[in-house]
Amino acid sequence: MRCEESDTVMVFVTINGNKERIDNYCGNQIPLQIMSNGPSLTAEFKSLDGKNHRAKGFRAIYKFVKDFGIQNGIQDQKRGDKKRIRKIDFPVVCAFVYNSNTHPNGTITSPNWPGLYPRDTECHYFFYGQKNEKVYITFPHFDVEGVPP
């Protein structure tokens, strides 16, 4: 959304030691849910000098999660990598296992679905079936940044 010359909430994450803006938010449209790519996120509120100031501001709910907002599957703590933030290595485990003997069908989502998925994040979804089974996947919704092949 264009927010030049208006009161704004800006949200930032840190990628490779650099502060990068996720987006600017203004007006009265409720933004999609946001998730950081690591243990920190910065929200900055900027109010401009206005004579007809009638906006009431904002209210946001936050929570710290370890499961990337993915509600199903088993999070595999052994897989994944580490992110280095402020000279500290944080384990980043976005790996989920789906076994046919416990969950023969279900839904998988990107992190933070239906909100914005976090930047600079890699997730793995592992499906394990029985010897005579195949894995079938359909995508009823698909909105991923990039250029199709």
Instruction: Give the per-residue pLDDT at 86.
Output: 46
22 has pLDDT over 70: yes
pLDDT tens profile 90-144: 455 688 888 899 888 889 899 988 888 888 888 888 889 888 888 888 888 888 8
Please tell me the distance from the alpha carbon of residue 34 to that of residue 58, in angstroms, as a whole number.
Answer: 15
Please tell me the distance from the alpha carbon of residue 44 to that of residue 60, in angstroms, as a whole number.
Answer: 12
pLDDT tens profile 47-101: 777 666 677 777 878 877 877 888 777 787 665 555 444 455 545 568 888 889 9
One-letter amino acid at 18 equals N
pTM of the model: 0.65
Instruction: Give the per-residue pLDDT at 101.
Output: 92
State mean pLDDT over 13-35: 87
Tokens of 98: 């789906």
